[in-house]
Structure 1
């Protein structure tokens, strides 16, 4: 009697393992793409703070929005650039400028503030404007904080278990603060493709009011439905001594860079100020000169549009 061969499970097991391997590869690829987008890597949307000495710091659109908010809340409270640097270094260390909904014990948000330690409700500390304001409130109570080492000042506010960790964030925080507060020679730009969604001027005004306060907005609406125009003037909080051309220009660049940082979130297509212009839908998206007027001591043009920042939205 001849032997009858029995079916084997080996081919089935082989197909199963190949399917599992293929799924794993696809998941890994999707994860890589997601990480690259979040971190600002690859060829996707990204923002860059550029120093006059050639140093730079690259961040994702989400991180750029949060960094711009931290800076705007600080300057609107009359805090100096050093305070903004301390706040940015702290947020870089605590959350990498992501508004985290989790953390050690009940820590939340950009600064990993704990509701159980009196920082506010969970909802409040997840609000970047509120969280930034509370950080500056505590920082302002520290005597002579601007003269303290950054690690000491940050630790006085945060009470971290690893206070020396803030030191490694200081160079990047200094670069970001110099750019986002509008001080030369730093600059800020984002590379992004033009949005397919139309921008909403009301949303831009609401975001400006949220970060800077109502005083940043003009009294009337723009004549153009797809743009927002901001008059450039120093606030009482920002002015030190008699406000001059340079301090006004710093305020203008602060507003302009805020708009660029928020360009992806608010569907901003173009930002113009002081004879220079940033436009989305370009590969590198640098600022370019739109006139040849003689520059002032900041190194930027003092020509056309020095009295207002023009924000054009995607139509």
Structure 2
């Protein structure tokens, strides 16, 4: 457990000392994807958006390459943040991909909905012949028609790393370092959020524990989606395929798990 001592200073003298628990110690929250020898970091907010983008690709049966292109594009366009102002594409650009209502991408409200924005990006991407074998910058530029057509290439390595983890191609490749939960979690809210991205999963709730039905690669996509969203959804642990991620210590370790299920535990009480 992390701990720190804080001294209250009055008139140049320390008059009281209090020990802070792990929820009060300053932690730089971050999520990392490690594939091979390379590790890349995002904030929890960015990681949650990357997980949504990858999850939509999984739900549509698209290859991991599609998610790599989409994540690299969103890093360049919005830093993987759902911004409500124009950044690089134009003054009316909005959302994760800086899509423009004036260019037929949808209404501003639709574009500011990440699930819609990701779907709209993939709708355009799959119309490109042979997009799976194109360089990321070429595929992304064909969709986006950016004023900076070569910029997408700068984000290919991290796009590939997070896509590989979040589509389930690289098991246990995503880790998040987080502070203690700030509130009680809600298993049904986690289930609803997961099914909005992946479609029906099925499963059960037992107290603070949610069990979702998912096997093989899809199971790892769901499990690492849950890790990426652990900060927002007050998740404390995620277990799948003999491994478990724990919020308190971070990282994946061996665990006894049920075959074909992702087990997600949320904080039970407000700290």
Distance (Å, rounded) in 2 between the aligned partners of 1:157 and 1:59: 24
Distance (Å, rounded) in 1 between the aligned partners of 2:236 and 2:140: 36
Task: Work out whether 1:312 is the aligned partner of 2:240.
Answer: no
Corresponding residue for 1:230? 212
* 1:144 pairs with one of 113, 130, 136: 130
Shift of 1:147: 1.4
Distance (Å, rounded) in 2 between the aligned partners of 1:286 and 1:79: 28
Distance (Å, rounded) in 2 between the aligned partners of 1:70 and 1:266: 17
Moved over 6 A (4+): none
Aligned length: 240
Q: Deviations over 1:166-209 (max 9, x none)?
A: 01110110111111111136700101122131101121111112
Distance (Å, rounded) in 2 between the aligned partners of 1:162 and 1:48: 27
Corresponding residue for 1:251? 218
* 1:90 pairs with one of 51, 73, 89: 73
* 2:35 pairs with one of 35, 51, 68: 51
In 2, are the aligned partners of 1:49 and 1:186 still within 8 Å (CA)? no
In 1, are the aligned partners of 2:27 and 2:179 still within 8 Å (CA)? no
**TM value normalised by structure 2:** 0.85
SS in 1 for 2:92: coil
Distance (Å, rounded) in 2 between the aligned partners of 1:138 and 1:132: 10
After superposition, residues 119-268 of structure 1 pair within 5 angstroms as: 119-184=105-170, 187-213=173-199, 215-218=200-203, 221-222=204-205, 224-233=206-215, 248=216, 250-268=217-235
In 1, are the aligned partners of 2:97 and 2:117 still within 8 Å (CA)? yes
Give unpaired runs (5+ residues) of structure 2.
Answer: 1-25
In 2, are the aligned partners of 1:48 and 1:57 still within 8 Å (CA)? yes
Distance (Å, rounded) in 1 between the aligned partners of 2:109 and 2:43: 24
Distance (Å, rounded) in 1 between the aligned partners of 2:172 and 2:157: 13
User: Which is strand-richer, 1 or 2?
Assistant: 2
SS in 2 for 1:229: strand
SS in 1 for 2:91: coil
Shift of 1:229: 0.4
Shift of 1:280: 1.1
Corresponding residue for 1:18? none
Deviates more, 1:261-270 or 1:190-199: 190-199
Shift of 1:286: 0.7
SS in 1 for 2:143: helix
User: Which is helix-richer, 1 or 2?
Assistant: 1
Q: Deviations over 1:84-103 (max 9, x none)?
A: 10001100100110111101
Shift of 1:51: 1.2
Shift of 1:281: 2.3
In 2, are the aligned partners of 1:178 and 1:186 still within 8 Å (CA)? no
